[in-house]
Amino acid sequence: MKIEQVGPYLWRIPPDAKPGMRVPGLVLADASLMAQIRRDASLEQVANAATLPGIVKASFAMPDIHQGYGLPVGGVVATDIETGVVSPGGVGYDINCGVRLLRTDLQAKDALPRLGQLVDALYQAIPAGVGSRGRVKLSPADERRLVERGAGWAVEHGFGEAPDLLRIESNGRLEGVDPEAVSPKAYERGKHQLGTLGSGNHFLEIQAVEELYDQRAAEVLGLFAGQVTVMIHTGSRGMGHQVCTDYLRRLEGALRKFDIQLPDRQLACAPLGSPEATDYLGAMRAAANFAFANRQCLAHFTREIFARVFGVGPAALGMALVYDVAHNIAKDEEHEVEGKRRHLLVHRKGATRAFPPGHPELVDAYRAIGQPVLIPGDMGRYSYVLVGTEGSMRETFGSTCHGAGRLMSRTAAVKAARGRHIARELESKGILARATGRDALEEEMPEAYKDVREVVEVVERFGISKKVARLKPIGVIKG
């Protein structure tokens, strides 16, 4: 793929690199990360996305980019509301896969004596793994109400507290849901999975705040050195997967209907305003709301376990939600492009919204510091808390990275881990890990991922987000 370096942390795929490109591809990376990115087909996918009708400015890729379905994981594409399209491949199968961070008043040194008990209790209480079933029972009426209300449904049913909703992206609820656009099979797959972690790269992690970079922002977020935090990473489970499956099939037919020519059918799309696009967006928002409710329930169960293990209530432990962000989603937003305000549909697939201080969509608590950005790394090293900056609005439609990004496929990771004992290796570093799946720890071993520190350094130096804190894992629950 033809690509040229145009800055210390910016690479450009020119529009003539591939027939049909309407805009350039722009990749954020340093030389070391670019060498890793070149190993798979993700740059080809960046160029393919640049052929989408109505795409604006560029097809973007974050430094944690790796090959995905249609759009690469780590891709950002904005299309014009009047002339553009929506692409399910630009959102992904795990709709609103995202991250939630809880803070506590606990010091890690005081929690370590009970860490084993805490990890075991969480492992027993949090359903994890492929096909895991939750303890929240949903009737068909419940499910339809849930996909309309999102995290608010969970709070209304006793899973958490109303103030939680003020610290969730979009307050934990997307509007514009169409419950009828969700197939019976998607509802069936979702009805037993509320309050479950799932498998793959999903996790619940007990962490310690290892380093602070911005004391003021940390104080606003309620973070301090040595503190115990909990990070939860999961999404919409089987419901979101089925919604994506249903609409990829339907939108492949829309390519013929609307005579849209694309180099990759995995980017199947439909013009905004068409019945196909309207139905997909209604169903995608429903699945996104399921994911917000799912993480809300998991956070509630986590608070219960902490209270039981430490023998005091969550309030006495200072357990509170810091923030909850979405990684795989398409959202209606206004952005300035070439000096004009434009109404766009921004697809973020493996990318995080990073709005700057003062942005009107920010919750009041964080308007002075910018949107919190939660960046999980791998279970053997560290994760980060960032905040959004004005630079993200100028450069990347208010977006930044979402994690470390895979270096190895899961199959390759299992092969590379043969003969090793990953749980024992983690324990030697002070990290207790529990996993349901036979190969879960091997698939997710630290070497399977890029070093998230390098990814975070690029987005900070490029100016689209700013470091606040680094978090070290001490206990991990995997599917």
Contact criterion met (CB below 8 Å) for 183 and 114:
no
Element (H, E) at 13: strand 10-13
- Looking at 92-236, list the stretches that DSSP marks H as alpha helix, in order from N- to C-terminal side: 108-111, 115-125, 140-149, 151-156, 184-190, 215-221
CA atoms of 34 and 68, how far apart (whole Å): 17
Tell me which amino acid residue 348 is: R
Determine the Cα–Cα distance for residues 294 and 303; give it in Å rounded to an integer. Answer: 14
Contacts of 137 (CB under 8 A, 6+ apart): none
- Kind and range of the H or E run holding 334: strand 328-337
Question: Which position has the token pair 């849901």?
Answer: 177
| Alpha-carbon distance values, 446 to 184, 407, 428 (Å) | 38, 10, 14
Alpha-carbon torsion angle 432, 373, 108, 203, nearest 10: -20
**Dihedrals φ, ψ of 286, to 5°?**
-65, -45
How many CB atoms are located within 10 Å of the residue 282 CB? 18
Residue type at position 344: L
From the candidates 192, 241, 335, 402, give the one annotated as an active-site residue: 402
DSSP string over 381-428? S-EEEEEE-HHHHHHSSSEE--S--BSS-HHHHHHHTTT--HHHHHHH
300 has catalytic annotation: no
Tell me which residues are annotated as active site.
402
